[in-house]
Structure 1
Amino acid sequence: MLCCVSLIPLSLFAAPFALAQNTAPAPAPAKQGTLPASPATSAKGARAKPPVAAHAITHVDVGAHRSDFAFPSAQHEPDATTHLSAELLRNRDVTTLRGLERVAPNLTMQSINGTASTNFYLRGAGFNDFTQNNMPPVLTYMDDVAYAYPAMSNGLMFDLADAAVDPGPVGTRHGQSTTGGEVRLRTNDPTTTWHYGGMEDIASYARSRSEAYVSGPLAKGWSFRLAGQTRQGGGWQYNPTNGAHLGDADLWALRGKLRWQPNDRTTIQLGGHFVQDDSEVVTAVPVHRLIGSQALPGFGLGRQAEWSMRPEFAKLVGRGAGLKPSEHNQYWGVDLRLIHDFGPATFTAISAFETERQGEYTDQDGTALSQADTYRTIDANVFTQEARLNGAALHGRLNWVVGAYYQRSRMNQRFFFDYTDYTARGYMMATSFGMDQESVSEFGNVSYRLPHNVTIWAGLLHELDDRGITGLTSQIFGGTTRSFSPESTAANQFAGQAGVSWQFVPQAMLYYKMSKGFKPGGFSANNTQVQAQLDPFKPETVLTYELGLKSDPVPGRLRLNGAAFYNDFHNQQVIGTVLIPNYGPLSEITNAPKSQSWGFEATLEAHPFGHLFLMQNIGWQRGDFQNFPNVDRAATNAYYAAHNQWKAIERNFRGVDNGSPKLTLNGDATWRQPLPTGYRLDFGPDWQYRGSQAITVGGTGFYRLPPYFLLGAHATLHSPSQLWDITVYGRNLLDRRYAESGGMATTTYFYIPGEPRFIGGRIACHF
């Protein structure tokens, strides 16, 4: 079944499109089989123009009769990608990956247990990787480098040029295959003239963010860019029993790029970054006691919270007494890229090495008791190598790309648990394991533009993936230590895409495509008690059908893009439940043999009159399991509550909703008011809505996160020279109490509360 997007009938567009054909020149037809933008090539694979100065801002004449929207060339690309400018990201205060859900449709990005690690859900595709050792369904790219583990991108969202959210299966044109899509972040590149600047942002709860950059030439053909940021304060949680404060940021990051252009056809660039994150995290608020009779704090989703750290546990993990829920993370990486234009084709090679060293403490029971206090250490590195060749022929009618991708990762993790106040256990324990992974893929894509502005394209990817988990031990301190046999899993899969687009008038395009996506299997390795918990889950595949429209019916005044999709999943990777006898239910990543989802997303941009600019994203999706036998956690918990005995209640979740938010909305309205002597004031509201989301399969009641609506606002004064601007902003102006994410500890179910009202201001200068 293909759910069609509710778009305005084409006949209603006919008149403005006909008028547009007489008033605006027709753009060149878009090329298919394109690549993401790289430092020396445009999105079409051609030689890029010289770098734009970092402080350059497109001038908008608010008194003119028309004002073009951003990313006009993307309107001729047959995809549902949401393109985000650096200006939009600043206006909406998007400074972390999680903030992207405020500016893109059908996207949900959530913290894992309140930490800096993030889970992605795009069009309902995604899962809660609480062990953080598996490839996500939605990949993050930073300057064309794929991050196999999302945490590696923490602290790097500064000095951005733009971003893009691309839903659906990907991998036939660049990078790595996956089923849910990708988030691409692009940072500013070195410039051939000197530029420097900075930004200072101060907000509620003593939060501050500082950024600075410098960029310019070093010698003939050589240029560089150095940028950095710091984050401090902002903690808004407190413990009413002792007045302790929680949540302050403590992060700094540096990024550098060195570029050499020996001639106008060759670019060699070396990049590197370093992040140190010692921030405190948002701690859990328990909403239901599963085991035990102790009363819950009853704080609701406000600013109040409880947490604990026993000195014995702090000593065990090697941290100081009184440790608060927090990060102790270090990330660094280097990348080298070579781009050479041969004329008929452009060659691109990207080598990257990324590392993460994490030490992360969370109080998952959300009480002053030590019933599920967790400290996790991660030591991981990833090496990737990509090489691709893309070109055009037949006067641009034929476009093609071929390439290969290699990835190797190494990871060691250790989980420490303090169950001292959990009477059924009453001990401290640790689970340790190592994981090795290696994959290689080859990909290709070709497109051809037929007469009447019809373009057809097809792509194919083949991937081999091999991964194994070794050395897993489960140690009870003062008790027994159990060792488990190693496990491995391998996959040999194909993915691909085929489609057709029709630029039926210069300002509108229809497209249809079918895509098969592939994502390798992996392991759950959290609190392992029996060997069966290490059985690998299978690879996930999806067949996606997508129908879309991109249109500018009134150029510069009205833009409407939309896409409808249907996903046919096989062995979809989801969080299920396993019951360990005499121990309790545990979460594990497993496979739903058959499932489906469908829906649409649309973006409306309007400049109806004068100085008013509007933007609205809407995402709607539904999905269910067609075959998924698993433990019914709610029924199993209910049986325990009635009989004080664990018994697995099995059921097939056939026909049960997949639990993803059905409706997501976000948008803003801006009034651009010219002022005397060349100043300009931009101001207006912004908003976000997310529907209810299940935290367990088939969850109802407290097993679901409630829906929420957030209102914000911003006002920016621009200088006549565009060299500085001053902004005041507010987030969650209504001070709504809401849950960002949720989960289960040993004795409680908990929510992670979202931020309260934040009022802030910033000043930015560019020279």
Structure 2
Amino acid sequence: MLALGAAPAAAYGQEAGPAAPAASGFDGNEIIVTANKREESINRVGLTIKAVGADDLSERQITSAADIAQAVPGLSYTNSANNTPVFTLRGVGFYDTSLGSYPTASVYLDQVPLPFPVLTTLTAFDLERIEVLKGPQGTLFGQNSTGGAINYIAAKPTADFEAGVEASYGRFNHFIGNAYISGPLSETLRARLAIRGARSGPWQKSYTRDDENGRVRELAGRFLLDWEPSDTMSFQLNINGWQDKSDPLAVQYLAFNEQAVSNTQIVRDYPRSPLNSRSADWSTDNGMFINRKLAQASLRGDIELGGGLTLTSISAYSRFNQRGALDQDGMNLQDIDLRAFAGRIRSLSQELRIANDPASRVRFIVGGNYSRDKVYYIENLLYGDSSAFYNFGITTSENYSDQRMRNLAAFGNVEFDIGDKLTVKGGIRYTDARRSATICNRDGGDGLTSALFTFFSRLLSGDPTRPALGPTDCFVLDENFFNGPEFKSQLNEDNISWRAGVDFKPSSDLLLYANVSKGYKAGTFGNINASSTAQFTPAVQESILNYEGGFKAQFADRRVSLNGAVFYMDYRNKQLRSKLIDATFGILDAIINIPKSHLQGFELELQARPTQGLSVGAALTYVDSEIDRYTGVNAGGVTADFAGTRVPFTPKWQAATNMRADIPLSSGLNLFGGVQLTYRSATNAIVGETPLYKIDDYALLDLQLGIEEPDGRWKATLWGKNVTGTYYWTNVVAGQDTVVRYAAKPATYGVTLGYRF
């Protein structure tokens, strides 16, 4: 199903300033997607898919994870203090910003995996389109796709010379520049180079002093080289990278949430944040900054073996580094601050597969995957004003995590046409996943934390002769109240993902489909500031069994399309960042599993071209979620039986409507305009639906108005996002003694100029 949350005009052409080559992904009303790892019309794929084309990406200023979520009903975006994007698709998500946490919606750039959410930060530039596949996609896309898969399709090198530039200027002195050059280097070699840069002033204001936050400093580039030495062989090299030095988001202090009885009043008396988009507060001790860098290289080779068989190899290596400082309590105090943090990711992946002729009556893909990831993270925390530590006189600690992952998989997928109208299909994947973790919490440098935990270890173990902890010794207490060594553990799991389905095409304008699929997300260790080894217990792999049926219909000479789907998901061992209660230290972080829950719902989408130059669309998504079995502690520190409550970050209703009009003013000038209205109902950020953690419903209005040459050679667009200035937020989090809110940007507006040579 094509769930329309964006202007449908983008589906009919892809020229969009510098981001668009000559039309190659769309053909009239046909949208070409790669959901089955081969090019097919979206109307012939029996899956729920949303595609956003290059025109839409450019005109609506879709440049971030938050923007993508606004364009895709059923997809929710959750912000985090360190700017790591977290996606939830149809209620399937995992809010954890640890570098080494795999997502529930896998992300790819031209089928090359971006295995960790932070790696996707600056991917949305110079694209043909974005494809969002809903429901488990484990057969072809592997584990960590229980919610679905997001595919970024880069604009490709062209057979003829092309070049373009695009510049946008908007509120808060926000400037974005894009440029590309593409064309042949020889008869067999083509190249494309694209660059994007962004810079802006601050948009957040401190409500306790004269200070600002929210500056943007971004730079990204991509170089593509396509080589076709013969008619039966082709290679594509992709070298891309980015650097993000933007300010991290400052949170809003919403409520006092004391973790332990304390003599401190300073946090309790701190003024709460005004309830508007721009107000926030943060510590000034170390400033707030993030410096992140990604470099990635991939090589794809396709070799025709004869007999209609094609061998495909995709090799990729990613190298990521970051450092920074954060405030997480919403105050100019040290209740919980990251004085400094740093991390790195090294990711290697290889896929080999063989596919037969896609025009065959029986179509198949068989192959295997190998990946190896290394993730290291270290942070130094300040919490001298926290109630949990104030009575003990300690102010700082440091923790690090060193994790290694190795994944092996073999997969196969087959489709069999029974006559002209019926297709049966099935797929299976076996995955062997191994993960090791070395974790340590130690003194932050002043010796006080080591002294305190030496005292605890001797007192609780009854052994006054235990050696004192040194400045680099780990202080986390185990079940025997001993401390000192690093926590080391392994998590080895395997699983079988599968999908079976049937497509029925009673006519060329109607597709009916039904699928049953099962997918898995790998287990994980959390990167947690811990006092007890119980906090390091990993969450085991989660699974979803999804039942889905749908239709895709076209009417009135294919000027009207109506798509729909219904689904039911049996959700086992959902992973959740939650809490446990410690008698000494109060409420502590932990990664847990919810044994059983379910989600059910439907999606509807309508798009139409009632007259030449006018496109309208509407979409509706309903998700009813419920936890069937879970007793534990939620993120607010409440212990209860949560059966019957809703799954976090899952609004029941999401809706979108839009219109796009193109009016010729003369033979050489067109006027165009677009309107998009999106709505999301209320949800909650934690299990238990506690009112304090409620994420209110909200509606957003975006507008565009512009002029262009009929052939798209140049374009000028006035645009506005959230033009009514709606105050809304995407997350509510319990820190040490504060509950904080992650507010989204207020109204933004600007102008974009684009020219293609």
Alignment partners' CA distance in 2, 1:730 and 1:283: 23
What SS class does the counterpart of residue 677 from structure 2 fall into?
strand
- Contact 1:572 1:594 survives alignment (8 Å): yes
Match of 2:62 among 74, 86, 94: 94
CA separation of 1:97 and 1:341: change in aligned 2, threshold 3 A: farther
- Contact 1:538 1:591 survives alignment (8 Å): yes
> In structure 2, what is the equivalent of residue 392 of structure 1?
357
> In structure 2, what is the equivalent of residue 703 of structure 1?
693
**Deviations 1:155-198 (CA, angstroms, capped at 9, x unpaired):** 12111111100011113235556311110001111122211111
What SS class does the counterpart of residue 328 from structure 1 fall into?
strand
What SS class does the counterpart of residue 575 from structure 2 fall into?
strand
The residue identity in structure 2 corresponding to 1:327 is I
TM-score of the pair, normalised by structure 1: 0.86
Give the superposition deviation at 1:124.
0.3
Match of 1:733 among 686, 699, 723: 723
Residue 402 (structure 1) aligned with residue 366 (structure 2): yes
The residue identity in structure 2 corresponding to 1:435 is Q
> In structure 2, what is the equivalent of residue 191 of structure 1?
158
What SS class does the counterpart of residue 608 from structure 1 fall into?
strand
Give the superposition deviation at 1:240.
4.0
Alignment partners' CA distance in 2, 1:54 and 1:734: 30
Match of 2:221 among 251, 254, 263: 254
**Deviations 1:493-547 (CA, angstroms, capped at 9, x unpaired):** 1110000010011101100010011111111121011111111111111110000
- Contact 2:684 2:693 survives alignment (8 Å): yes
Alignment partners' CA distance in 2, 1:513 and 1:219: 46
CA separation of 1:725 and 1:596: change in aligned 2, threshold 3 A: same
Match of 1:428 among 387, 392, 396: 396
Alignment partners' CA distance in 1, 2:387 and 2:641: 33
> In structure 2, what is the equivalent of residue 18 of structure 1?
none
Give the superposition deviation at 1:573.
1.2
CA separation of 1:595 and 1:60: change in aligned 2, threshold 3 A: closer
Residue 141 (structure 1) aligned with residue 105 (structure 2): no
Alignment partners' CA distance in 2, 1:609 and 1:162: 25
Alignment partners' CA distance in 1, 2:529 and 2:219: 32
CA separation of 1:329 and 1:293: change in aligned 2, threshold 3 A: same
CA separation of 1:629 and 1:53: change in aligned 2, threshold 3 A: closer
> In structure 1, what is the equivalent of residue 120 of structure 2?
153
In terms of mean alpha carbon deviation, does 348-357 or 267-276 score higher? 267-276
The residue identity in structure 1 corresponding to 2:132 is V
What SS class does the counterpart of residue 205 from structure 1 fall into?
helix
Residue 345 (structure 1) aligned with residue 309 (structure 2): yes
> In structure 2, what is the equivalent of residue 25 of structure 1?
none
- Contact 1:465 1:491 survives alignment (8 Å): yes
**Deviations 1:177-228 (CA, angstroms, capped at 9, x unpaired):** 6311110001111122211111000000100000111112222311111111
What SS class does the counterpart of residue 698 from structure 1 fall into?
coil
Residue 499 (structure 1) aligned with residue 501 (structure 2): yes
Give the superposition deviation at 1:307.
1.0
> In structure 2, what is the equivalent of residue 121 of structure 1?
88
Alignment partners' CA distance in 1, 2:525 and 2:26: 52
The residue identity in structure 1 corresponding to 2:501 is G
Alignment partners' CA distance in 2, 1:567 and 1:188: 35
**Deviations 1:469-491 (CA, angstroms, capped at 9, x unpaired):** 11423324322142432011011
What SS class does the counterpart of residue 536 from structure 1 fall into?
coil
What SS class does the counterpart of residue 48 from structure 2 fall into?
coil
> In structure 2, what is the equivalent of residue 106 of structure 1?
74
Trace 1:480-629 onto structure 2 (pairs within 5 A). Answer: 480=450, 481-482=474-475, 483-629=485-631
CA separation of 1:505 and 1:245: change in aligned 2, threshold 3 A: same
CA separation of 1:262 and 1:759: change in aligned 2, threshold 3 A: same
Alignment partners' CA distance in 2, 1:355 and 1:58: 31
Residue 206 (structure 1) aligned with residue 173 (structure 2): yes
Give the superposition deviation at 1:70.
4.3
**Deviations 1:118-142 (CA, angstroms, capped at 9, x unpaired):** 1110010001013232111111101
Alignment partners' CA distance in 1, 2:603 and 2:429: 27
> In structure 1, what is the equivalent of residue 455 of structure 2?
none
Match of 1:79 among 41, 47, 58: 47
> In structure 1, what is the equivalent of residue 469 of structure 2?
none
- Contact 2:19 2:128 survives alignment (8 Å): no
> In structure 2, what is the equivalent of residue 296 of structure 1?
271
- Contact 1:259 1:270 survives alignment (8 Å): yes
Identity %: 26
Match of 1:438 among 406, 411, 423: 406
> In structure 2, what is the equivalent of residue 685 of structure 1?
675
CA RMSD of aligned residues (A): 2.3
> In structure 2, what is the equivalent of residue 28 of structure 1?
none
The runs of at least 4 aligned residues of structure 1 exceeding 6 Å deviation read 58-61
> In structure 2, what is the equivalent of residue 764 of structure 1?
754
What SS class does the counterpart of residue 534 from structure 2 fall into?
helix
- Contact 1:70 1:85 survives alignment (8 Å): no
Alignment partners' CA distance in 2, 1:599 and 1:560: 17
Give the superposition deviation at 1:338.
0.6
Match of 2:379 among 410, 415, 425: 415
Q: How many residues align?
A: 687
Alignment partners' CA distance in 2, 1:254 and 1:167: 29
Alignment partners' CA distance in 2, 1:535 and 1:55: 50
- Contact 1:53 1:195 survives alignment (8 Å): no
CA separation of 1:458 and 1:523: change in aligned 2, threshold 3 A: same
Alignment partners' CA distance in 2, 1:53 and 1:683: 19
Give the superposition deviation at 1:147.
1.1
> In structure 2, what is the equivalent of residue 744 of structure 1?
734
> In structure 2, what is the equivalent of residue 336 of structure 1?
299
CA separation of 1:471 and 1:590: change in aligned 2, threshold 3 A: closer
Give the superposition deviation at 1:689.
1.3
Residue 68 (structure 1) aligned with residue 68 (structure 2): no
**Deviations 1:216-269 (CA, angstroms, capped at 9, x unpaired):** 222231111111110100521112443222101011111111221101221112
Alignment partners' CA distance in 1, 2:700 and 2:325: 29
> In structure 1, what is the equivalent of residue 465 of structure 2?
none
- Contact 1:5 1:600 survives alignment (8 Å): no
Alignment partners' CA distance in 2, 1:655 and 1:422: 34
- Contact 1:540 1:573 survives alignment (8 Å): yes
Alignment partners' CA distance in 2, 1:411 and 1:162: 30
- Contact 1:204 1:760 survives alignment (8 Å): yes
CA separation of 1:650 and 1:758: change in aligned 2, threshold 3 A: closer
CA separation of 1:261 and 1:69: change in aligned 2, threshold 3 A: closer
The residue identity in structure 1 corresponding to 2:510 is A
- Contact 2:102 2:144 survives alignment (8 Å): no
- Contact 2:397 2:441 survives alignment (8 Å): no
> In structure 1, what is the equivalent of residue 347 of structure 2?
382
Alignment partners' CA distance in 1, 2:19 and 2:271: 56
Trace 1:439-478 onto structure 2 (pairs within 5 A). Answer: 439-478=407-446
Give the superposition deviation at 1:632.
4.6
- Contact 1:214 1:227 survives alignment (8 Å): yes
TM-score of the pair, normalised by structure 2: 0.87
> In structure 2, what is the equivalent of residue 47 of structure 1?
none
What SS class does the counterpart of residue 279 from structure 2 fall into?
coil
- Contact 1:168 1:180 survives alignment (8 Å): yes
CA separation of 1:405 and 1:219: change in aligned 2, threshold 3 A: same
CA separation of 1:603 and 1:509: change in aligned 2, threshold 3 A: same
Alignment partners' CA distance in 2, 1:695 and 1:541: 21
Which runs of 5 or more residues in structure 2 are unaligned? 4-17, 33-39, 259-266, 451-473, 476-484
What SS class does the counterpart of residue 500 from structure 1 fall into?
strand
- Contact 1:289 1:296 survives alignment (8 Å): no
Alignment partners' CA distance in 1, 2:19 and 2:398: 52
- Contact 2:25 2:128 survives alignment (8 Å): no
